[in-house]
Chains A and B, each alone.
Chain A
Amino acid sequence: MRKIWFFIVLLGTKFGLLLCKLFHKQGSMIAGKTAIFFQKDFVKYFTNIDYNKVFFVTGTNGKSTTTNLLYHTLKTSGKNIASNVEGANMMSGVATTLIKNSNIFGKFNKEFLVLEIDERSLRNIFKVLPAKNLCISNLQKDQVQRNGDPDFIYQMFKNSLNKDVTLYVNNEEVRSRSLEDYVNKSIYFSLERNSKTFEKHDFYDVTCPCPKCSHKIEYEYYNIENIGKFKCSHCGYKSNTKVDTLITDVDFDNKSFKEGKDTYKVKYANPFMMYNYALVISVCKRFNIDANTIEEGFLSFINPADRRETYFYHGKTIRYLRMKQENPETLQNALDTIARDKNKKAVYMGLYEIKDFKPAYNNTFYFFDCDFKKIVETDVEQYVCFSKTASYETANRMLYAGVDNKKLKVYDVEDDFDLIFEDIDKLKSETIYIITGMKPYHKIKAFFNKEGENND
């Protein structure tokens, strides 16, 4: 009876998708949502799915980029593959992907299935779609209003896993690495010390508790924030010395690296992407995809999740870096990008209240998880803090980082960019950096597209 109901729902949603296509309407999300509304376990009735070739990609940061990269590389290698690359990463998004990639009897018509999965949906999706592969980019603080503390999500991951799952996991990421205890097979990917590796020795620097024994974790070095060669000060838990995929000889300027004997040229070269490449190589190796083919995928990959844009305005270069609010790693990445620029510059920061879920609230803790010192040590002409609710807190954070009060300017206004950017022309700096979350993005983009030159 449930199977018959599945066919009815499937036909209905496929018909809906067809109508949307005919009338050029966006209906992909609605199809999955409708299916789940009428049949909660809809996803489990699809057939012809080889679960050994189903890859779930989850984690705090980078799951969209990793999913897109894995999908693109496997596709470039000629694999017949489906994915939710549009980014709908909960049960309804998975349902939509399967509706689109199956026949009217619910027979899945692709060989591989690569799905980005929201951390909180993982357990329920595993119940109806028992993938044999789970790739975790990392497990960090994020959206604390929803996710609380990292252990809250860790428990969800742990309770989702079973011994049949092969775990693809970052050897240098403390929390997700420790999930190795709950599966039979783990594939470790790793990035060797490189020119962008850094160490931390400040009195106020902190690490995290060991997920296995709760004692202090110590880092020998960091490749990116909170990710690097580590060991527990107590129980012996540490980064493995032998891993399945190890990226070495990274040349960021020439955009290349080595893995084993193979050299890869890539389009995007930053430490975060190196881990993504390592994960994808790990998967590709398992299916005997050769290095040249993988490289072809890496070189032709266009990252739709890239949060950086450049505008030209009154003779100045505006580098706009967006980050996820409440997510210290994405803010730190933006800060590191600015710190690498040793020329004179101005930095505009618009950190807002959080409106991801109800109620909206003001949480600025993540400013203090980040290290602003690296920027302060470079030649910054002026810091401009704007937003109605959090501009003074942002300014205070800068003072705590050692910024000279005279270099600080505060605009406690909401999205008045004519006012906020009024003094750009007076600055000596040729490069202006702007950091914001998603909220003011379209308005800022519109401002520079209206006022700027040669901006698309």
Chain B
Amino acid sequence: MINVLWMYPDILNLHGERANAKAFEVIGKKLGLKVKIDRLDDLDEKVEFDKYDILLFNAGQLKEIEVLSNVLKNQINDLKKYIKDKKIIFVTGTTGALFSNNIQRLDGTSFKGLNIFDADIKEREYVLGDDLYFGFKKMKIVGPQIQMIDIDIKDEKPFGKVIYGYGNNGKGDEGIIKNNVIFTNTLGPVLVKNPWLLEYLFDLVIKNKKLKVKKKKIKYDLEKKSLESCEAFINKKLENK
């Protein structure tokens, strides 16, 4: 059994990311895996880190990130142990700030994140919206990026290499990967659009838990055609640059 905890679904909910939680169910079923998804709705409820293999943090607003940071700091040692045990955390969008160090807001105030990543965040004055297309291992990952923050990842390892788009700060790096904490700026239903990334997350759990399961093969025909459409659209933009 693979246990997924969908973190604060109503609070971290900006761009249709509830579909990422649904993707765990849909793709898990197609792969023949037993997947259980729980919700953690209440900020006052403690996270039972021992029970879960994957924590899903979807995109949220900086305003809420500050509140979440204060909530999760109460369990920071448990969280660090979870990460040290190579369990998986998947984070999208501005919620990357939650796992960073210092967050500088536009109004001059700042707050501290959970400092899992040694990265600093600066709120942007203008929204940046574009496609984000990047490579991770042999995978191609695509999705929209609505960037409200710039990210200085210092010496942290980027999650992917940008093929097209802004990524962390327009310099070619996309997201962060540390142990099995994966952060991507790609928003929306990124796991629906890129189910191969979700399968990679499942593989990490299978390896960690030494699960004896035989996954079914999926061709992902529709998703591959969707990726091709997006690639063609992006290539056209690159040609016109």
B144 near A363 (CB under 8 angstroms)? yes
Pick from B94, B127, B232: contact of A145, CB under 8 Å: B127
CB 8 Å contact bits of A384-419 with B (1 = contact, 0 = none): 000011111101110110000000000010000000
CB 8 Å contact bits of B203-232 with A (1 = contact, 0 = none): 000000000000000000011011001101
Which residues on the B side are within 8 Å of A359 (C-beta)?
130-131, 237
How many angstroms between the C-alpha atoms of A434 and B205 in the bound complex?
Answer: 43
Query: A209-B64, A361-B144, A362-B230 are known contacts. Are A392 and B222 too (CB-CB below 8 A)?
Result: yes
B192 near A151 (CB under 8 angstroms)? no
Which residue in chain B gives the minimum CB-CB distance to A234?
B43
A233 near B188 (CB under 8 angstroms)? no
B189 near A365 (CB under 8 angstroms)? yes
Pick from B129, B130, B188: contact of A364, CB under 8 Å: B188
Q: Is there a chain B Cβ closer than 8 Å to A208's Cβ?
A: yes
A sample of 12 inter-chain contacts (CB < 8 A) reads: A145-B146, A151-B63, A152-B148, A204-B18, A205-B18, A209-B10, A359-B237, A389-B230, A393-B226, A396-B192, A399-B222, A400-B26
Q: Is there a chain A Cβ closer than 8 Å to B169's Cβ?
A: no
Q: Is there a chain B Cβ closer than 8 Å to A5's Cβ?
A: no
Nearest-neighbour CB distance to chain A for B187, whole angstroms, equals 6
A400 near B22 (CB under 8 angstroms)? yes
How many angstroms between the C-alpha atoms of A149 and B97 in the bound complex?
Answer: 15
Which residues on the A side are within 8 Å of B10 (C-beta)?
206-209, 216-217
Of residues 311 through 334 on chain A, the ones whose CB sits less than 8 Å from some CB of chain B are 328
Q: Is there a chain A Cβ closer than 8 Å to B193's Cβ?
A: yes
Most chain-B CB neighbours within 10 Å: which of A141, A214, A217, A357?
A214
CB 8 Å contact bits of B14-46 with A (1 = contact, 0 = none): 111111011000100000000001010111100
CB 8 Å contact bits of A350-363 with B (1 = contact, 0 = none): 00010001011111
How many angstroms between the C-alpha atoms of A215 and B68 in the bound complex?
Answer: 10
Q: Is there a chain B Cβ closer than 8 Å to A368's Cβ?
A: yes
Nearest-neighbour CB distance to chain A for B65, whole angstroms, equals 9
B148 near A148 (CB under 8 angstroms)? yes
A396 near B14 (CB under 8 angstroms)? no
Q: Is there a chain B Cβ closer than 8 Å to A147's Cβ?
A: yes
Q: Is there a chain B Cβ closer than 8 Å to A144's Cβ?
A: yes
Q: Is there a chain B Cβ closer than 8 Å to A182's Cβ?
A: no
Most chain-A CB neighbours within 10 Å: which of B44, B67, B226?
B226
A396 near B226 (CB under 8 angstroms)? yes
Which residues on the A side are within 8 Å of B62 (C-beta)?
151
Pick from A150, A206, A388: contact of B9, CB under 8 Å: A206
How many angstroms between the C-alpha atoms of A149 and B146 in the bound complex?
Answer: 9
Which residue in chain B gives the minimum CB-CB distance to A218?
B10
Nearest-neighbour CB distance to chain A for B232, whole angstroms, equals 8
How many angstroms between the C-alpha atoms of A347 and B211 in the bound complex?
Answer: 43
Listed from nearest, the 7 A-B pairs whose CB atoms lie closest are A145-B129, A368-B16, A365-B188, A392-B226, A365-B16, A365-B15, A368-B19
CB 8 Å contact bits of B141-183 with A (1 = contact, 0 = none): 0001010100000000000000000000000000000000000
Q: Is there a chain B Cβ closer than 8 Å to A168's Cβ?
A: no
Q: Is there a chain B Cβ closer than 8 Å to A127's Cβ?
A: no
Which residue in chain A gives the minimum CB-CB distance to B148?
A148
Which residues on the A side are within 8 Å of B60 (C-beta)?
209
Of residues 210 through 230 on chain A, the ones whose CB sits less than 8 Å from some CB of chain B are 213-217
Pick from B39, B43, B129, B193: contact of A361, CB under 8 Å: B129
A363 near B127 (CB under 8 angstroms)? no
Q: Is there a chain B Cβ closer than 8 Å to A23's Cβ?
A: no
Which residues on the A side are within 8 Å of B68 (C-beta)?
214
How many angstroms between the C-alpha atoms of A429 and B63 in the bound complex?
Answer: 49
B61 near A361 (CB under 8 angstroms)? no
Which residues on the A side are within 8 Å of B222 (C-beta)?
392, 395-396, 399
How many angstroms between the C-alpha atoms of A360 and B241 in the bound complex?
Answer: 12
B223 near A396 (CB under 8 angstroms)? yes
Size bracket of the B interface: 35 or more
Which residue in chain B gives the minimum CB-CB distance to A354?
B129
Q: Is there a chain A Cβ closer than 8 Å to B101's Cβ?
A: no
CB 8 Å contact bits of B39-59 with A (1 = contact, 0 = none): 101111000000000000000
B229 near A389 (CB under 8 angstroms)? yes
Of residues 67 through 117 on chain B, the ones whose CB sits less than 8 Å from some CB of chain A are 67-68, 94
A368 near B18 (CB under 8 angstroms)? yes
How many angstroms between the C-alpha atoms of A205 and B39 in the bound complex?
Answer: 11
How many angstroms between the C-alpha atoms of A362 and B131 in the bound complex?
Answer: 6
A204 near B21 (CB under 8 angstroms)? yes
A361 near B130 (CB under 8 angstroms)? yes
Nearest-neighbour CB distance to chain A for B111, whole angstroms, equals 13
Most chain-B CB neighbours within 10 Å: which of A206, A366, A399?
A206
How many angstroms between the C-alpha atoms of A151 and B11 in the bound complex?
Answer: 12
Which residues on the B side are within 8 Å of A392 (C-beta)?
222-223, 225-226, 229
Nearest-neighbour CB distance to chain B for A211, whole angstroms, equals 9
Which residues on the B side are within 8 Å of A328 (C-beta)?
16
B43 near A412 (CB under 8 angstroms)? no
How many angstroms between the C-alpha atoms of A393 and B16 in the bound complex?
Answer: 13
Pick from A204, A233, A364, A391: contact of B42, CB under 8 Å: A233
A391 near B18 (CB under 8 angstroms)? no
Which residues on the A side are within 8 Å of B67 (C-beta)?
213-214
Which residues on the B side are within 8 Å of A412 (C-beta)?
225, 229
Which residues on the A side are within 8 Å of B200 (C-beta)?
none
Which residues on the B side are within 8 Å of A206 (C-beta)?
9-10, 13, 18
List 16 other contacts, CB 8 Å, given A147-B127, A368-B188, A400-B19: A149-B94, A209-B61, A209-B63, A214-B63, A214-B68, A215-B11, A215-B43, A216-B41, A364-B16, A364-B189, A365-B16, A366-B15, A388-B232, A389-B229, A393-B193, A400-B22
Which residue in chain B gives the minimum CB-CB distance to A216?
B10
Q: Is there a chain A Cβ closer than 8 Å to B233's Cβ?
A: yes
How many angstroms between the C-alpha atoms of A203 and B60 in the bound complex?
Answer: 19
Nearest-neighbour CB distance to chain B for A226, whole angstroms, equals 11
CB 8 Å contact bits of A234-269 with B (1 = contact, 0 = none): 100000000000000000000000000000000000
B230 near A365 (CB under 8 angstroms)? no
B64 near A146 (CB under 8 angstroms)? no
Query: A149-B61, A208-B10 are known contacts. Are A391 and B229 too (CB-CB below 8 A)?
Result: yes
CB 8 Å contact bits of A195-209 with B (1 = contact, 0 = none): 000000001111111
